[in-house]
Amino acid sequence: MNLLDSLSSAFRTVKSNKLRTGITVTIIALGIMALIGIVTSTTALKEKMQSSFSSMGANGFTITYKDMQRFGNQVRVKDGKRQKKSNLDKPITKAEAELFKQSYQFPAKVSIALDATGGSVEVHYKNIKTNPNVTLNGGDENYLFVNGFTVAVGRNLSVNDVSSGRNVCVLGNDLAVKLFGVNIARALDKMILVGTLPYRVVGVLTAKGSGSRGSQDNFILTSYNNIRRLGLSNANSFSIGVAADNVQNVSLAASEAMGVFRRVRKLLPNEADNFVINKSDELTQKLFSSLSSIEYGVVGIGCITLFGAAIGLMNIMLVAVSERTKEIGLVKAIGGKKKNIRQQFLFESIIISLMGAFIGILLGIMIGNVFASFMKTGFVVPWVWVTIGIISCSVTGLLAGLYPAIKASKLNPIEALRYE
């Protein structure tokens, strides 16, 4: 009897004991279904949360300078680092911002911004004009991505737009609707007056809604070089925005940014930071931590279920040894070896366990993706947990069948043939 014969015999035995096999497979399948189902659901929820938080800017942070009005002008010592007066009220220059953008190698997008004077302007198109409450922002080609905006029609600012500082702009959705009606595509290539200055519209953004500071769609974006060239800003400092590729990487990205910007600002090791990094990912981290706790709980439930299934499977295999004692004696009588008997029983145990695993995985993925469809995310397959589930069930089947297989292989063929 070779390995293939043992495997074939194991399949026939599993198939012939439908009720016994079905009960054990169901127990295993329920445990794996709960594990894969909830992990699939939480994975879909994480993707939805990442998408939502990214649109709100929670996957990023900003770098600004420390000004005296906010931080005072005292000399302070913190963590052994001396805060000099000269380090306060030291604006971030254009050269520093651009050097940081060039030097920062972390997988993230970096944006440079410069606020316009007063922040709000009046916009005209032909005989239509807005209230003087439209926000004018200066940014670069990464500004929209870093701040969670997407282009609805037209295009984003290009690198050439930024470097040349020419009079082109991108409109927020609310502003475009006020000037051009609901057909926002009409705005493309039109000339508008921002205050008294003409600008050509190259794009319109998708509506983002209101935030803590009111509407986020009533604004104009042009390049920071345009704001600077035309003297539209009295701000003496640039700001830097960074968007990490993943919400969970924000802290690591911020640590990397701190090291790079300290070099850019030429700070000595014993000097405190003369800039501020503002993160907005605390709530995100708490929510992801809660989801991870749920996953750990499900893993615990799955392990308990598999342990119970292993005990049940072992009992079933022991019963099978008793029922097939004569068969075992006959196999040994015609030349079957101990290893052939062990192989057959181990194969039976592993086959039953893997059947439960595959059924549980399929059901779990289906149930999890029903939840994902309500969240409007893509089809999710947690491959890591699927692999873990298959390996766990294989080990469970191996361990559960080990003792019965050894017991069966040690039976005396004469006594086995006499067994009633």
Q: Do 258 and 190 share a domain, yes or no?
A: yes
pLDDT at 68: 45
Last residue of a domain, one of 280, 295, 329: 280
pLDDT-wise least confident of 57-66, 77-86, 234-243:
77-86
pLDDT at 263: 93
Query: Radius of gyration of the chain from Cα atoms?
Result: 34
Last residue of a domain, one of 249, 280, 311: 280
Q: Is the pLDDT of residue 77 over 50?
A: no
Q: Do 290 and 271 share a domain, yes or no?
A: no
Percent of the chain with pLDDT over 90: 29
Average pLDDT over residues 63-84: 57
pLDDT tens string 271-318: 888 898 887 655 566 666 666 777 677 677 777 777 777 787 787 777
Q: Do 268 and 293 share a domain, yes or no?
A: no
Q: Is the pLDDT of residue 401 over 50?
A: yes
E-assigned strand segments in 75-218: 76-78, 81-83, 108-121, 123-125, 128-129, 134-139, 151-154, 168-171, 191-194, 197-205, 210-211, 214-215
Q: Do 111 and 243 share a domain, yes or no?
A: yes
Residue 146 exposure: Cα atoms within 13 Å on the Cβ side: 22
pLDDT at 381: 84
pLDDT at 239: 92
Better-predicted residue by pLDDT, 131 or 81: 131
pLDDT tens string 311-355: 877 877 777 777 777 776 776 677 767 777 788 778 888 888 888
pLDDT tens string 153-185: 999 999 999 999 999 999 999 999 999 999 999
Q: Do 248 and 307 share a domain, yes or no?
A: no
Backbone angles phi, psi at 223, to 5 degrees: -85, 150
Last residue of a domain, one of 263, 280, 297: 280
Q: Do 215 and 86 share a domain, yes or no?
A: yes
Domain extent for 10:
3-53+285-418
What would the two tokens of residue 184 be?
A: 């926002």
Q: Do 310 and 227 share a domain, yes or no?
A: no
pLDDT at 1: 54
In this prediction, residue 406 has a pLDDT band, given cuts at 50, 70 and 90, of: confident
State how far Cα 180 lies from the chain centre: 38
pLDDT at 88: 59
Task: Report the mean per-residue pLDDT for the chain.
Answer: 80
Q: Do 332 and 354 share a domain, yes or no?
A: yes
Q: Do 223 and 292 share a domain, yes or no?
A: no
Q: What is the full DSSP assignment across 12-73? A: HHHHH-HHHHHHHHHHHHHHHHHHHHHHHHHHHHHHHHHHHHHHTTTTEEEEEEPPHHHH-S
Q: Do 101 and 150 share a domain, yes or no?
A: yes
Q: In Å, what is the CA distance from 246 to each residue of 39, 208, 239?
A: 19, 20, 22
pLDDT tens string 33-72: 877 887 888 777 777 666 655 554 557 788 998 764 454 4
Q: Do 392 and 297 share a domain, yes or no?
A: yes
Q: Is 61 in contact with 278 (CB distance < 8 Å)?
A: yes
Average pLDDT over residues 379-387: 84
Note the pTM of the prediction, 2 decimals.
0.57
Q: What is the DSSP letter of 72?
A: -
Q: Do 37 and 71 share a domain, yes or no?
A: no
Q: Is 259 in contact with 100 (CB distance < 8 Å)?
A: no
Count structural domains, the chain: 2
